[in-house]
Copies of this chain bind each other. A is one copy, B any other.
Amino acid sequence: MHRNIIVGQSGGPTAVINSSLAGVFQAAKDLGADKIYGMRHGIQGLLDGDYVLLTDYIKSPMDVDLLKRTPSSYLGSCRYKLPPIEMGKEVYEQIFTRLNELEIDAFFYIGGNDSMDTIKMLSDYAAIVGSDIKFIGVPKTIDNDLAATDHTPGYGSAAKFIATVTKELILDSLVYDMKSVTIIEIMGRNAGWLTAAAALAKGADCPGADLIYLPESTFDPESFTAKIRELVAKKKSLVIAVSEGIKLADGRYVFELASEASSVDAFGHKQMQGVGKVLADMLAARLGIKTRAVELNTMQRCASHLASNVDVTEAFQVGAAAVKYAFEGKTGQVVTLDRVSNTPYQCITGCQDVHMIANVEKTVPAEWIIDDGTNVSDELINYIRPLIQSEVPPMMVEGLPMHLNNLYF
């Protein structure tokens, strides 16, 4: 018996999404797969007939370990959303024709909520047309907003980067003998998990961020200003962590405040400010204080040089588990990480019917947000802490992290 498989990556990248790809690849090899295909740019690539044999690119155990340490989506990604089955029959026919041509037995999709939706649709269609192809979702997102799984691969490494940089920026902010406010802008439009990671900076050697604002709480510029005014009177240097997605009571994003005025630049282009810059400018104007905005930007999702070993390992495991589940005959499932205990931290892979989780966005529970929405609870810190433990040192060549050669150079 031979079994061919195909794997794709979708949505935004993470520092460890390729560790899951390595897990799928390694398990498929170990469990006797014949051909191991990779879709270029996800399902879009499959539709376009754009795929590769992964064995042409991953040729040695060294390559597998390099792949685990390579940021971004090795196969490329897409944001293609499948139409409802009843409205897009020809798309599904095209996909299944491709899969049948390649004699695919199992299809793996590494991604977030949208990607799990793709797995749901494809497994539903397979049931309708009586196809034997197995469809399994492999979870990934720095946002940690997937339901059903305790946490998502990608989150731990982003959290480790955010907490590390927050510690370093707090020390940097103390250098001069003058009052200052530093605003760190962190990703996560709707879920505050990433911003909450700034709380990990607090420890024996660091007082931590002074205030932490998640998108789950309504943001009030007036009470924010009052709070800063009060803290600035007592403390030289403040460091504030804010989610890019914090919103006003009327539902607008705080960053939209910047475009209220006529902010058109010299090129006639409407300026969009990040929320960090908006708040830094606001405090400078209102309190006459030195402010600075630091946007962590895409570095949060690609800093594989500081990846968490727990995260890299779990990302690899969910990839490998997906293959095992498919080869056992499962389909329409998403692999999950199930935390068994926190002390000691123990976590195992499981799976769950994809219909139970697709398109449900998991946000930070209200009880983990404290102090009128300006901080997070110890329970939340205890939830995150195990996920950032231990390191995967990059393979350093000529002083820089080595990556597996990219498909798109």
A164, A207, A282 — most chain B CB neighbours (10 Å): A164
B403 A205 Cβ-Cβ under 8 A: yes
Residue-wise, chain A 75-93 has the 8 Å CB interface mask toward B (1 for contact) of: 0111100000000000000
- Our pick among B286, B295, B385 for the contact of A398 (Cβ within 8 Å) is B385
A342 CB–B CB distance under 8 Å:
no
A72 B389 Cβ-Cβ under 8 A: no
A404 B294 Cβ-Cβ under 8 A: no
CB A340 to nearest CB in B, in angstroms, measures 19
Q: CB-nearest residue of chain B relative to A79?
A: B176
Interface residues on A, range: 35 or more
A329 CB–B CB distance under 8 Å:
no
A205 B402 Cβ-Cβ under 8 A: yes
A44 B177 Cβ-Cβ under 8 A: yes
Given A41-B177, A168-B303, A206-B403, answer yes or no on A267-B292 (Cβ-Cβ < 8 Å): no
Interfacial chain B residues near A204, Cβ < 8 Å: 397, 405
Interfacial chain B residues near A391, Cβ < 8 Å: 393, 396
A266 B260 Cβ-Cβ under 8 A: yes
Interfacial chain B residues near A393, Cβ < 8 Å: 391, 393
Q: Which of A53-61, A128-136, A268-276 contacts B (4 or more CB under 8 A)?
A: A268-276
A220 CB–B CB distance under 8 Å:
no
Identical chains in the assembly: 2
Q: Which of A117-125, A304-312, A359-367 contacts B (4 or more CB under 8 A)?
A: A304-312
A201-244 CB contacts (< 8 Å) to partner B = 201, 203-207, 236-237
A2 CA / B70 CA spacing, docked (Å): 55
- Our pick among B163, B165, B236, B399 for the contact of A160 (Cβ within 8 Å) is B399
Given A400-B388, A403-B171, answer yes or no on A176-B76 (Cβ-Cβ < 8 Å): yes
A249-268 CB contacts (< 8 Å) to partner B = 257-258, 260-268
A175 B77 Cβ-Cβ under 8 A: yes
Binding site for B on A (CB under 8 A): 12-13, 40-41, 44-45, 70-73, 76-79, 160, 163-165, 167-169, 171-172, 174-177, 200-201, 203-207, 236-237, 257-258, 260-269, 271, 273, 277-278, 281-282, 284-286, 292, 294-295, 297-299, 301-306, 308, 385, 388-391, 393, 396-406, 408-409
14 A-B pairs whose Cβ atoms sit less than 8 Å apart in the complex: A13-B172, A77-B176, A79-B176, A164-B401, A169-B298, A172-B298, A172-B301, A203-B398, A236-B408, A237-B408, A263-B263, A267-B286, A308-B399, A389-B399
Known A257-B266, A267-B282; further 8 A-B contacts with Cβ < 8 A: A77-B176, A160-B399, A167-B400, A204-B405, A260-B266, A271-B271, A295-B295, A390-B399
